[in-house]
Amino acid sequence: MGIGSGTHATQTAEIMKRFEEIVLAERPDVLIVVGDVNSTVACALVTSKVSFDSVGTRPLIAHVEAGLRSFDRTMPEEVNRIITDHLSDLLFVTEESGLTNLQKEGVSSDSVHFVGNTMIDSLLAFKGKADSSTKLDELGLLAAGQNGDGKKVARYALLTLHRPANVDNRESFQNILAGLQELGEDCPIIFPVHPRTQKRIKEFGIDLNLRSSNAADGRSRGGMHLIDPLGYLDFLCLMKNAAIVVTDSGGVQEETTCLGIPCVTVRENTERPVTVDKGTNIIAGTSQDGIRTALRAQARRTSTGTIPLHWDGKAATRIVEVLVRTRVHQKSPLRPVLV
Q: How confident is the model at residue 125 (pLDDT cuts 50, 70, 90)?
A: very high
The verdict on 102 and 153 lying in the same domain is no
Residue 95 lies in a domain: yes
**Cα gap 316→287, rounded to integer Å:** 38
Better-predicted residue by pLDDT, 133 or 2: 133
Q: Is the pLDDT of residue 216 over 60?
A: no
42 Cβ contact list (under 8 Å, min separation 6):
3, 12, 15, 16, 19
Asked if residues 330 and 336 have their Cβ atoms less than 8 Å apart, the reply is: no
Q: For the residues of 136-160, what is the DSSP string, one character each?
A: HHHTT-B-TT--GGG--BPP-EEE-
Residue 307 lies in a domain: no
Weakest-pLDDT range from 192-201, 211-220, 232-241, 291-300: 211-220
What size, in residues, is the chain?
339
Query: Residue 42 belongs to what domain range?
Result: 7-116+313-338
Q: Is the pLDDT of residue 328 over 80?
A: no
- The C-alpha angle with vertex 148 and arms to 147 and 150, in degrees rounded to 5, equals 75
Compute the average pLDDT of residues 230-253: 98
The question of whether 63 is a catalytic residue gets the answer no
The verdict on 27 and 166 lying in the same domain is no
The verdict on 112 and 137 lying in the same domain is no
Percent of the chain with pLDDT over 90: 83
Residue 207 lies in a domain: yes
The verdict on 212 and 72 lying in the same domain is no
List the CATH number of the domain containing 78: 3.40.50.2000
The verdict on 267 and 325 lying in the same domain is no
Compute the average pLDDT of residues 12-36: 95
194 burial level (CB within 10 Å; 0-12, 13-18, 19+): middle
Residue 1 lies in a domain: no
Residue 308 lies in a domain: no
The verdict on 130 and 111 lying in the same domain is no
The verdict on 152 and 49 lying in the same domain is no
Report the pLDDT value the prediction gives residue 18, as an integer from 0 to 100. Answer: 95
Specify the 3-state DSSP secondary structure of 158.
strand
The verdict on 151 and 257 lying in the same domain is yes
Report the pLDDT value the prediction gives residue 327, as an integer from 0 to 100. Answer: 77
Weakest-pLDDT range from 3-12, 13-22, 104-113, 168-177: 3-12
The verdict on 276 and 296 lying in the same domain is yes
Percent of the chain with pLDDT over 70: 88
Q: Give the active site residue among 162, 194, 310, 329.
A: 162
The verdict on 139 and 273 lying in the same domain is yes
The one-character DSSP state at 306 is -
Report the pLDDT value the prediction gives residue 221, as an integer from 0 to 100. Answer: 58
Compute the average pLDDT of residues 265-277: 98
Residue 77 lies in a domain: yes
Q: How many domains does the chain have?
A: 2
The verdict on 262 and 204 lying in the same domain is yes
The verdict on 144 and 281 lying in the same domain is yes
Residue 181 lies in a domain: yes
Q: Is the pLDDT of residue 214 over 80?
A: no
Residue 2 lies in a domain: no
- The C-alpha angle with vertex 219 and arms to 214 and 223, in degrees rounded to 5, equals 110
